Each structure stands twice: as C-alpha cells, then as structure tokens.
Amino acid sequence: MSRYLVTGGAGYVGSHVVAALLGRGDAVTVIDDLSTGHRAAVLPGARLIVADLADGAAVEAAFAAARPEAVLHFAARSLVGESMRDPLGYLADNAGNGIALIRACIRHGVGRFVLSSTAALFGAPSAAPIDEDAPIAPASPYGESKWMLERALAWAGRVHGLRYAALRYFNAAGADPAGRLGEDHDPETHLIPLAIDAALGRRPPLGIFGTDYPTPDGTCIRDYVHVSDLAEAHLLALARLEQASVTYNLGSATGHSVRAVIEAVGRAAGRPVPVEAKPRRAGDPACLIAGCARIRADTGWTPRLPSLDAIVETALAWRLAHPGGYGRAKGV
C-alpha cells in the first residue's frame, strides 16, 4: 500500500485516478475546493480535504495528514476560452498554485510528482500524430500555464532531484465502466457529453463549429481516450518514476471527426443528435492526434477501451443514470 495526495481528485479525470488507486489498495487523500468538482465523485475510502490550493496552510495540513509518497496534481482551471479573457488569472492560479505545490513536495521530502498536462501545449501543430518532441507553442494562457509547470518540474528535478511525470492528455472521454463515476462539468465544453445531452433532448441542437476544414468530412478531428485508460496510464507512470522522470503524450493515437462522434452518439442513444452548422472558432486546429509510442514502449500501456463506440456507451450509461449529474443522481 502506498500513500498519495491527489489535488483535484473530485474532478472528472482525478476521480477516476483516485478510483484506480483505491482499487489496488492505496491510501488516498484528496485536496479539492469543489469549484468544478463534486463531493460525490470522491469514492468512499479516500479522505477529502475541501480547500483551495492557494491556501498555503491548508496545503501544509494536507501534506501532514496524507504523508504522501507521491503527489498527483489534477487541480486546475481548464477552460481555454476563459483563459483568453483572464490570462493573468490563469497563470496565477494554475502555474502559481502548481509551483507552490512542487515547493511543498520538496519541503516535505516527497520525491514523485504527476502533472496533468495537455495537448494545448502544442497549439496548432502542422503534423499528426503529435509526439513528445513536437514544437511547444501554446495558443492560450491555459496551455502556457501547463508549460510553465512542466518547466518548473524540470528545474525541480534538476536541482532538487524530484522525479516527475508530465502527462499530456488529449481528450479524456467516457465514464467509469462500473458506473460509479462520470463527467459533470458546468459549463460543459466537451463534445461527447454535449452530443449525448442534445440527443436526449436535454439541450438545444449541438453546434458544429466549422464544416469546411481540410478533413474528409470537413469537421475537426480529435483524439479521444477513455478516462479509465488514462487512469491506468497514471499508475504505470508512477511505477516508471522509480527509474526516471518522464513526459508522455496520452491519447488513443486515433482521430475521430466531430461528425464521427455525433454518429457514434446517435448509434448508442438510438436516436440522431440534432445539430446546427456554425462558423469555425478562432484557434481550433483541424486535426489533433496523439503519438503514444513512448508510453507504450516504456510501460506497455495500451487502451483497453479504444473504440469510440465503447467510450460513448460508458458516457451515455452514466448520463442516463445521472440526468442532473452528481447533484441529482437517480435515487439519491
């Protein structure tokens, strides 16, 4: 049994990683201010400390309570558009809180750190798949804030010997196959839950932003990886840290167009997704597909639920069982 401190463990990806850690018998302490997360997403068995990472005393108390061997850092503001309106707020919160957390690790002798990084580091790359050595060119303060943390970790590693894993997710999708956890953001910005709610008549027709991209059906192509596969990658990265720091791009290495996702949701829901074609959004690249050869070679990681249909089915099952998200789960 190992002890972990998980920031943002009440959020979408963090809660699935907490589930994976608990599943193998680890002791987990979550620190989360519930700004976008949910108390009910922290499974029984984990301890939840409700606090803002900007609260230094609360972070100290969390380290004292958890006595962690490693810290997994999910907590962040992650709305790209919002970051364009509040760049310094994003840099202060994401980079500032993250650097304070890295410093706390060093003070407390915690030698391993896992960062939720992002494909947004790469801006609008010209080639696909995108491997770890692709040029870094964040197109938003959100992406920049994660790059600042990757750089801070590199220095903490070089000077203080901290081992770190920078995990650059593409699009996390789906829900816990056991039905305990799912995706519940407000506002929701992710395509699959939006398409599901449109199919179920819970929101207006889904906007397709751009139908004239240079892709086979004219819509943007993205890489979706099941959130439980992402969780598994965190466990493998933690083990890999026994040897060295690592940086991994994490996706399914497969691209699906917006229209392909909409069709998959229509198949799963048994009814079509109502859609409305809209103009392109500024800054949306045509195609983002992860190159995942490095994590596969280092750890043997391979997604267990690679098919888009399987990903969509788990997401749909959770949303059918939780029409109002965590707040109004059926029977609660």
Active site residues: 142
| Residue 73, C-beta contacts closer than 8 angstroms, at least 6 positions apart | 7, 8, 98, 101, 113, 114, 115, 116, 149
Could you say whether residue 314 binds ligand NAD (CB under 6 A)? no
Residue nearer to ligand NAD on the CB measure, 79 or 218:
79
Q: Which residue type, as a one-letter code, is found at position 321? A: A
Other C-beta atoms closer than 10 Å to the C-beta of 62 total: 24
* Whether 228 contacts 20, CB under 8 Å: yes
- 78, 140, 247, 314: which one contacts ligand NAD (CB under 6 A)? 78
Regarding 74 and contact with ligand NAD (CB under 6 A), the answer is: yes
221 has which bridge partners? Answer: 257, 287
Q: Where does residue 319 fall: left (phi above 0), alpha (psi -120 to 50 degrees), or beta otherwise?
A: alpha
Query: Contact between 14 and ligand NAD (CB under 6 A)?
Result: yes
Q: How many residues does the chain have?
A: 332
CB of 35 to ligand NAD, least distance (A): 4
Residue with smaller CB distance to ligand NAD, 132 or 218 = 132
**78 to each of 69, 82, 87, 157, 225, how far by Cα in Å?**
26, 8, 12, 25, 18
Q: Which is nearer to ligand NAD, 32 or 232 (CB)?
A: 32
Segment contacting ligand NAD (CB under 6 A): 46-54, 106-114, 132-140, 308-316? 46-54
Q: How far is the CB of 270 from ligand NAD (least distance, A)?
A: 26
15-44: contacts with ligand NAD (CB under 6 A): 32-37
Q: Tell me which H or E stretch contains 21.
A: helix 12-23
Task: Identify the residue among 75, 80, 206, 221 touching ligand NAD (CB under 6 A).
Answer: 75
Residue 69, burial from CB neighbour count under 10 angstroms (0-12, 13-18, 19+): middle
In the bound state with ligand NAD, the residue whose beta carbon lies nearer, of 57 and 159, is 57
| Binding pattern for the stretch 165-184 against ligand NAD, x by CB under 6 A and - elsewhere | ----x-xx------------
Binding site for ligand NAD (CB under 6 A): 7-8, 10-14, 32-37, 52-54, 74-78, 93, 97, 116, 118, 169, 171-172, 185
